[in-house]
Structure 1
């Protein structure tokens, strides 16, 4: 194997080497941050023809090109283009507006990121697009939900609160036979651990705010598309006028360079903490597809090469006040509505109020945990203090 050729390199190497041109960068390892809107043309003929590698700041710069080339190398050969947008929700909204039109129907997994549901129920509904939600475990049974006007299927694997694992391969096979697109929110695993475009997905989106950024200091979104869908996505980005600021692009590229070592640690620490929590008397169930006991483990093992640090636990029945006392006792686990950074987080959640295709009845209070890069013994001690406070408050 010729490891000097990018196509023969392992993902960790491609993350470090892709999108770099040290000669053009005057010898510097990292590309400069281009702050700019106007791009000057050398001749009137070039101006008339819009001829040039870069034409206007909103359409890209050497900084954005470096990021796009690096992410494309990670996504694999099915990826022909990467769109850059200001947030994960912007990636979702831009994608859906790019491929849907009035009169279309979309199938959406019932454990989808809640803002995605809000967008479907709000703006898409106002634009005359119908949404039907489906059981994450439906598999090939999704065939019964298709209508003549079903244009796309939106999945998230696993769901970012309840962590059911849909069978993307089976869903994609049915969808493509019906002439529909498959769109995946791949934020949890990133293309490092799940190359969803290789699994039959047409468009893979990420809230790069999370693991790609990795340091809880940017808002960023990406849209990776195959040959069939990239023209639609590119046109949607152009018509909607969305773009990300150059400093955020630079920070996202910096995060990509270290993604493999950070995710490896999140994977190890997450599984260690999940197994430890599964042994705790206060915990009824751990929702983590990387655990052998999880219903989605077989699909995860087949399609994924790793797990991130995000999962949920179901506590044994306890009053809300006792759970709040536990959360208030924690020192290393912060409370905040994000994840993917270096810090550990814990938030309570209840998705029963907004799920429509399935019933969420976990049997006890639920907490979503993000396992950061702290020492796991310290995290266990922090949770141990929290559980003691939970018990004392009951």
Structure 2
């Protein structure tokens, strides 16, 4: 797949090899553990690392097909499929960190990533410093001699701050520090980290890449061959690998991601704009809205937005918020996003921030806008806000 092809074309064609598979459109699913060799020489020929099939955990044509498609979208060297988004994050971090190293982690990061830093990396002698997501080039002041990785998540998946990725990358690269970003919110369709100098791009492919809430998947994309070898070696040694049937579902979802994501984007903006006009709402946290604090950076670096955003309500009691949420008909409550269904959950970022203080006027909700009719979703939210008002008045 040539680099001049547009994103929609890459998503449709990359990683598929019909001529090598009897003309069949979709790559076959290889269920494999043992790989057989015809001779002792072939068995003992290690060759270039990770270029041949030697054991199912190392990779198969099924994993290659998905990885090639993601890598083509990212514009990087190669990608690595693993069994979940968290596995992609933890696998990448452990591949590049060792005892005595220092990690700079964004304070708005996904909760399980923070838990991994505080509970696992700490136990193995890696120190984590959380930093203000809006620090930009000021991160240079936090980089130490032992700093090995700067980790970003832009926008944050609960508070939606947009980071100045190029400024952070410039500061890190000047000191020889590896940069990583959780790019799940935008996907490579709407943000390409390698174009901004990032070394490792991470995805909970469970979300928009799979897109149907029916498979767990993570992916690590590497900008260079050296970064790929380090990440692949680390994940292979830890036993990370993705299952063949989940890989098939991820490939299938990837082919329609552009169509789905544009619907998520348009519907989410309509819902966000409607919520801005509601008296019960204090703020809407969506970087694509012109009055959002991160809008200028989003407009500079991104080509689109996804279906996930936040809402801060005016002060309301927990019973009133519970009444809003418990009666929803189309919005379900669940700890994920990126699927075809709409979701809504209460969230409490103020409880986990450590480098910065998260201040909200009232309760915070996180919404994922699915593929339902947007007017039906707005009606569901309107009814929920009416329940909130009735409960508050009771």
Query: What is the TM-score normalised by the length of structure 1?
Result: 0.97
Q: Which residue of 2 aligns with 1:284?
A: 282
Mapped partners of 1:340, 1:209: distance in 2? 8
**Deviation digits for residues 17-72 of structure 1, max 9, x if unmatched?**
11111121111100111111111112222112146832211111111111111111
Query: Per-residue displacement from partner, 1:291-343 (whole Å, max 9, x unpaired)?
Result: 00001001111111110000000001110100000001110000000000000
**23-32 vs 379-388, greater mean Cα deviation:** 23-32
1:347 is matched with 345
Q: After TM superposition, give the deviation of residue 245 of structure 1 in Å.
A: 0.5
Q: Does 1:38 align with 2:31?
A: no
1:104: which partner in 2? 101
Q: Are residues 1:114 and 2:89 paired?
A: no
Q: Which residue of 2 aligns with 1:49?
A: 45
Could you say which residue in structure 1 is the equivalent of 2:239?
241
* Alignment-derived partner of residue 207 in structure 1: 204
Q: Distance in 1 between matches of 2:52 and 2:128?
A: 40
| Cα distance between partner residues in 1 of 2:4 and 2:228 | 25
CA RMSD of aligned residues (A): 1.0
Aligned partner of 1:82 in structure 2 is 79
Partner residue in 2 for 1:337: 335
The answer for the alignment partner of 1:124 in structure 2 is: 121
* DSSP-derived class of the 1:8 partner: coil
Task: Measure the CA separation in 1 of the matches of 2:132 and 2:245.
Answer: 40
1:311 equivalent among 309, 312, 319: 309
CA distance in 1 between partners of 2:95 and 2:251 (Å): 25
Distance 1:94 1:215 in 2: 24
Q: In structure 1, what is the equivalent of residue 12 of structure 2?
A: 16
Query: Within 5 Å, which residues of 2 pair with 1:262-301?
Result: 262-301=260-299
1:356 aligned partner: 354
Among 160, 163, 166, the residue aligned to 2:160: 163
Give the superposition deviation at 1:238.
1.6
Q: 1:152-210 CA deviation, whole Å, 9 max, x = no partner?
A: 11110000001111111110000111111111000100111100111111101000010
Distance in 2 of aligned mates of 1:230 and 1:66: 17
Q: Could you say which residue in structure 2 is the equivalent of 1:59?
A: 58
Q: Hey, what's the Cα distance between the residues in 1 that align with 2:182 and 2:2?
A: 26
Tell me which stretches of 4 or more aligned residues in structure 1 moved more than 4 Å.
Answer: none
SS of corresponding position for 1:84: strand
Deviations 1:66-101 (A, max 9, x none): 11111111001xx11111111111111100100001
1:190 maps to which of 182, 187, 210:
187
Paired with 2:72 and 2:144, the residues of 1 have a C-alpha distance of: 36
Looking at structure 2, the residues matched to 359 and 50 of structure 1 have their Cα atoms a distance apart, in angstroms, of 52
In 1, Cα distance between equivalents of 2:127 and 2:43: 43
Following the alignment from structure 2 to structure 1, what is the Cα–Cα distance between the partners of residues 171 and 17?
Answer: 42
2:70 is aligned to: 71
- Alpha-carbon distance in 1 for matches of 2:32, 2:161: 44
1:173 has 2:170 as partner = yes
What are the superposed Cα offsets for residues 225-283 of structure 1, whole Å, 9 maximum, x if unpaired? 12141121011012111101000001001111111000011111111111111111111
Task: Name the SS for the 2:22 alignment partner.
Answer: coil
2-structure distance, mates of 1:331, 1:355: 32
Alpha-carbon distance in structure 2 between the residues aligned to 1:37 and 1:225? 25
SS across alignment from 2:161: coil
What stretches of structure 2 of length at least 5 have no aligned partner? none
Matched, 1:134 2:120: no
Cα offset, 1:125, TM superposition: 0.4
The number of aligned residues is: 388
